[in-house]
């Protein structure tokens, strides 16, 4: 097996943390970021110096620029860039979502993805190799009540990814990905106790990580869902 360099945002918890652990278990090199200093310390202590975990808010373009420069210097362009970091608004009709909360969802879920792309993708393009996965959602292809800000960002990720796919050189891919419904803190925010009926992030990652490793240039621009054939 050829070890890959994998960059993951949002490794503090949920899908990001579960993916980081599974990629490392399978022998790949992971460079991840999250907003929780405690989670970053735990991951750094648990795994060797080959892997890099950093405290970064993806909504902060300058912080992303510095982090990307360090990652690229140490490991070169990633083979797999996973824009996973996201937040969801507290359940509420759109007109009751405070402006600051709405802005936070936009800043992390859309601007954060653009910031990561801005600072990692140029070297991937220069090499004409690599897969960019921007995490969308079932709510990026449908809608529901009381999650309008989140839906808006995930629909945006679908369009952003498909447009990016048209700009990449042959040999690369940009993919908007629906991971499915997983029992995470974010899902519990929206679903409450009903979230317990869905798989944990760790169970999901066992199947999702090998599937992600099989993504290829032929998948460029496709709206995919984890587990479907590609």
pLDDT, tens digit, for every residue of 192-217?
A: 777 676 779 999 999 999 999 999 99
Q: Does the predicted TM-score (pTM) go above 0.85?
A: yes
Cβ-based neighbours of 187, under 8 Å, separated by 6 or more: 181, 195, 198
Q: Is the pLDDT of residue 188 over 70?
A: no
Cβ-based neighbours of 98, under 8 Å, separated by 6 or more: none
Residues designated catalytic: 150
Report whether 123 contacts 77 (CB < 8 A). Answer: yes
Cβ-based neighbours of 94, under 8 Å, separated by 6 or more: 148, 149
Report whether 97 contacts 148 (CB < 8 A). Answer: yes
pLDDT, tens digit, for every residue of 74-124?
A: 999 999 999 999 999 999 999 999 999 999 999 999 999 999 999 999 999
Residue 199 DSSP SS3? coil
Report whether 195 contacts 187 (CB < 8 A). Answer: yes
- The phi, psi pair for 179, rounded to 5°, reads -75, -15
Rounded CA-CA distance 17/126 in Å is 29
């Amino acid at each position: 097996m050829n070890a890959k360099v994998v960059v993951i945002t949002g490794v503090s918890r949920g899908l990001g943390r579960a993916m980081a652990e599974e990629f490392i278990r399978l022998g790949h090199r992971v460079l991840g970021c999250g907003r929780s200093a405690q989670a970053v310390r735990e991951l750094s202590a648990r795994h060797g110096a080959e892997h890099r975990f950093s405290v970064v808010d993806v909504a902060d373009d300058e912080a992303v620029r510095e982090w990307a420069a360090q990652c690229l210097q140490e490991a070169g362009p990633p083979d797999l860039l996973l824009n996973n970091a996201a937040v969801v608004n507290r359940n509420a009709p759109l007109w009751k979502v405070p402006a600051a909360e709405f802005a936070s969802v936009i800043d992390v879920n859309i601007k954060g993805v653009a910031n990561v792309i801005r600072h990692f993708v140029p070297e991937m393009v220069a090499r004409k190799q690599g897969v960019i996965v921007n995490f969308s959602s079932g709510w990026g292809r449908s809608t529901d009540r009381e999650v309008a800000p989140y839906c808006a960002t995930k629909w945006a990720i679908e369009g952003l990814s498909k447009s990016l796919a048209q700009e990449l050189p042959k040999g690369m891919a940009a993919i908007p990905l629906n991971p499915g419904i997983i029992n995470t803190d974010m899902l519990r925010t929206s679903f409450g106790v009903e979230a317990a009926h869905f798989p944990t992030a760790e169970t999901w990652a066992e199947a999702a990580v090998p599937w992600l490793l099989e993504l290829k240039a032929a998948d460029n621009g496709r709206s995919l869902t984890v587990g479907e054939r590609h």
